[in-house]
Amino acid sequence: MKKTTLIIMAGLLITTSKTIAVTPPVEDFKYSVDKFADIEILHYRVPDFEKLSLKQKEMIYYLTEAALAGRDILFDQNNKYNLTIRKTLEAVYLNYKGDKESAEFAQLTTFMKRVWMGNGIHHHYSEDKFIPDFSAAYFSKTVKSIDPKKLPLGKGETVDQLVAKLTPILFDSSIFPKRTNQAEGVDLILSSANNYYEGVTQAEVEAFYAKMKNPNDNTPISYGLNSKLVKENGVLVEKTYKVGGMYGKTIEQIIVWLEKAASVAENNKQRDVILTLIDFYKTGNLKTYDDYCIKWVKDLDSQIDFVNGFTETYGDPLGMKASWESIVNFKNIEATKRTEIISSNAQWFEDNSPVDKKFKKETVKGVSAKVITVAILAGDCYPATPIGINLPNANWIRRDHGSKSVTIENITEAYDQASLGNGFAEEFMWSDVERKRAKEYASMTNNLHTDLHECLGHGSGKLLPGVDPDALKAYGSTIEEARADLFGLYYMGDPKMLELTLLPSNEAYKAEYYQFIMNGLMTQLTRIQPGKNIEEAHMRNRQLIAGWVYEKGKADKVIEFTKRDGETFIVINDYQKLRRLFGELLAEIQRIRSTGDFEGGKQLVEMYAVKVNQTLHAEVLERYKKLNLAPYRGFVNPVYTLVKNAKGEVTDVTILYTENYVNQHLRYGKDYSFGF
Ligand code: ZN
């Protein structure tokens, strides 16, 4: 998963029988739709939706419904009380009869928006719990003033009990302070606020799964992926997410829509993918899940594609349990030509990387890559979303069957369009040389770096036989992201890029290098609260890389911190040497990953990736504040409507971009909450 980019596509005009459907052109589109706390909410366009066939549009419609149906699962996974809190806030927002113009009501509204953004009471990125600005007394007063029937009361629960239950969770900063704790030296399970485990210690979890794992199994299932581990009567029990199990009612709804999608699938292969997923949802059998992943990774001909399920494990400090997410998308055929060039040269990239030969793959299998247009974001991909995805995650499936890698270009378009002329480059880049390069090449190189990261980086290299894929434990995600980023960075400066026509000049890569280093050493600190360290894996990875190459190139002044009028800037003096340093670090990171060198990984991460230079941080925050920009962005989805004729036949699917952030979440809360 990674960052920002840009491509401009013309709004296309397609005439259907009655209506004229047009994707609004970039210049007429209102990207930014809401702003609160540290968040800006954007709309994204879905270019070429109108070019799809009726059957394809219908399939997308059903898959978007399946995506939205799972929404509550993620709230519950993030914290046991999230759903009750969300529903309580929404009930007050909608039904409170007192003063809705007061400062406190505005604070309650902002808090509710933050809960939507975080899919719970923790910040989506820092994972710290946020505390309301309104008082506990105001919370109590407003909740008690509304009709109890509107509140999410438990069986036999009174309103007073509900308020008493939620008040400490909302207002006491020492309760559930961190959603996923990665900090050294404490029990990572007990100190994490998420809901993947209950009443168990880290040691118990590790012992439980160590007993299940067979080190000689070459094709292991993803242990623990789709379950919660709890202690019942002193015994550890896995509660599986499936029909008839945990989240059963919600999963049934997902299946209803998946079945409809299967009925209009583009081809048999795709239908089989969906039916296998349904089978997995019904049984919770992780072997079936692997079958599904293998079928999914081999479905390359369909234009429509989707992710729907328990997928990424960032939310579990031990990296086993997966959060629920969904996106629905279709291939951007024109832009995909670029990634096809990369994929078809995958073996060349593997063979020529600066990594030790014994850590390389002899044969790189099935690296498939495409550029996609998303139609909906849901679960852990909403409101904040990745701009590139590489799945499946199981190492052996990637080894034996390959992986699918995508770049989400209509999202990067929204980021870039919303950023044009916001003053960021003027404030932080050293000179017009860097700014000019950025203007000319940054969108292109950003896209390309994402492609290389996803199509080649994650798929490159191999583990030595017998190495536990989880050997790096809490450091695994950071090391893995660094590996993928470095693979891309190293090759961006390679003459091969020009030869393959992926870049238009041998200056272009410098735009990405400058931006990456500036971001990793300085500007990403805009996302960190004063006094805090860096926690999130992608951010750690960027500071690790930038900090390491700065340090190692110090004697040669490859990169310098320079002052002008008391402000700090990054200057890069030698781009080719910088490239060689990227190569050296890539070789070391691959060695750590391939050999499962926990101590080596820990040392690199703790030394370069975690700690923040407080003086520089304060300066960056001060300068950033003047720009009045939101450091984080989320999205609202377009609204799809199925159009039917008098006979009940589907005649069209329309798409609207007019729903705002508040209305979307209130509607989702009303229409897509099925209970568990
Ligand atoms: Zn990645």
3-state secondary structure of 433: helix
From the CA of 476, how far away is ligand 1's center (Å)? Answer: 12
* pLDDT score recorded for residue 338: 86
From the CA of 264, how far away is ligand 1's center (Å)? Answer: 32
From the CA of 388, how far away is ligand 1's center (Å)? Answer: 8
Q: Do 448 and 500 form a contact (C-beta atoms < 8 A)?
A: no
* pLDDT score recorded for residue 368: 66
Cα angle: 227, vertex 377, 631; to 5 degrees: 100
From the CA of 12, how far away is ligand 1's center (Å)? Answer: 32
From the CA of 287, how far away is ligand 1's center (Å)? Answer: 25
Q: Name the residue among 454, 455, 67, 74 with its Cα closest to residue 277.
A: 67
Q: Look at residue 11 and tell me whether its pLDDT is greater than 90.
A: no
What is each CA distance from 545 to 112, 340, 588, 612, in whole angstroms?
36, 28, 12, 14
Q: Write the CB contacts of 36 (distance below 8 Å, at least 6 apart in sequence).
A: 110, 113, 114
* pLDDT score recorded for residue 7: 30
Q: What is the mean pLDDT of residues 548-565?
A: 97
From the CA of 463, how far away is ligand 1's center (Å)? Answer: 17
From the CA of 453, how far away is ligand 1's center (Å)? Answer: 6
From the CA of 90, how far away is ligand 1's center (Å)? Answer: 35
Lowest-pLDDT choice from 83-92, 273-282, 361-370: 361-370
Mean pLDDT over all residues of the chain?
93
From the CA of 2, how far away is ligand 1's center (Å)? Answer: 6
From the CA of 467, how far away is ligand 1's center (Å)? Answer: 21
Domain boundary assignment for the chain: 2-48+332-630
From the CA of 87, how far away is ligand 1's center (Å)? Answer: 34
> Which of the two residues, 401 and 338, has the higher pLDDT score?
401
The proportion of the chain whose per-residue pLDDT surpasses 90, expressed as a percent, equals 85
Q: Give tens-digit pLDDT for 288-320.
A: 999 999 999 999 999 999 999 999 999 999 999
Q: What is the mean pLDDT of residues 92-110?
A: 98
* pLDDT score recorded for residue 370: 86
What is each CA distance from 673 to 131, 314, 317, 321, 459, in whole angstroms?
25, 24, 28, 22, 37
From the CA of 483, how far away is ligand 1's center (Å)? Answer: 9
Structure tokens at 515: 């931006």
From the CA of 315, how far away is ligand 1's center (Å)? Answer: 15
Question: Cα(140)–Cα(129) distance, rounded to whole angstroms?
Answer: 20
From the CA of 671, how far away is ligand 1's center (Å)? Answer: 33
> Which of the two residues, 13 and 307, has the higher pLDDT score?
307
Q: Give tens-digit pLDDT for 188-234.
A: 999 999 999 999 999 999 999 999 999 899 999 999 999 999 999 99
* pLDDT score recorded for residue 63: 98
From the CA of 132, how far away is ligand 1's center (Å)? Answer: 33
From the CA of 590, how far away is ligand 1's center (Å)? Answer: 15
Cα angle: 570, vertex 572, 574; to 5 degrees: 165
From the CA of 489, how far away is ligand 1's center (Å)? Answer: 13
From the CA of 638, how far away is ligand 1's center (Å)? Answer: 26
Rama region for 414: left / alpha / beta (φ>0; ψ in -120 to 50; rest): alpha
3-state secondary structure of 225: coil
Question: Cα(427)–Cα(257) distance, rounded to whole angstroms?
Answer: 48
Q: What is the mean pLDDT of residues 389-406?
A: 90
Q: Which helix (H) or strand (E) holds 394?
A: none
* pLDDT score recorded for residue 1: 38
Q: Give tens-digit pLDDT for 475-502.
A: 999 999 999 999 999 999 999 999 999 9
Structure tokens at 308: 């729907």
Within 13 Å and on the Cβ side, how many CA atoms surround 204? Answer: 15
From the CA of 461, how far away is ligand 1's center (Å)? Answer: 14
Q: Look at residue 647 and tell me whether its pLDDT is greater than 80.
A: yes
From the CA of 593, how far away is ligand 1's center (Å)? Answer: 14
From the CA of 153, how far away is ligand 1's center (Å)? Answer: 41
From the CA of 545, how far away is ligand 1's center (Å)? Answer: 14
Structure tokens at 648: 């009940």
From the CA of 19, how far away is ligand 1's center (Å)? Answer: 41
From the CA of 391, how far away is ligand 1's center (Å)? Answer: 10
From the CA of 488, how far away is ligand 1's center (Å)? Answer: 11
From the CA of 556, how far away is ligand 1's center (Å)? Answer: 30
From the CA of 458, how far away is ligand 1's center (Å)? Answer: 7
Question: Cα(457)–Cα(449) distance, rounded to whole angstroms?
Answer: 10
From the CA of 114, how far away is ligand 1's center (Å)? Answer: 26
What is each CA distance from 521 to 152, 230, 481, 571, in whole angstroms?
46, 41, 17, 11
Q: Give tens-digit pLDDT for 431-442.
A: 999 999 988 888
Alpha-helical runs (H) found in 374-431:
395-401, 409-419, 424-428
Beta carbons within 10 angstroms of residue 63's beta carbon: 27
Query: How does residue 156 score in pLDDT terms, banded at 50, 70 and 90?
Result: very high
- Model pTM greater than 0.85? no
From the CA of 403, how far away is ligand 1's center (Å)? Answer: 13
Beta bridge partners of 379: 325
Query: How does residue 419 score in pLDDT terms, banded at 50, 70 and 90?
Result: confident
From the CA of 486, how far away is ligand 1's center (Å)? Answer: 11
Cα angle: 181, vertex 184, 188; to 5 degrees: 40
* pLDDT score recorded for residue 367: 63
From the CA of 204, how far away is ligand 1's center (Å)? Answer: 30
From the CA of 619, how far away is ligand 1's center (Å)? Answer: 29
Query: How does residue 240 score in pLDDT terms, banded at 50, 70 and 90?
Result: very high
Q: How far is CA 593 from the centre of its chain?
A: 22
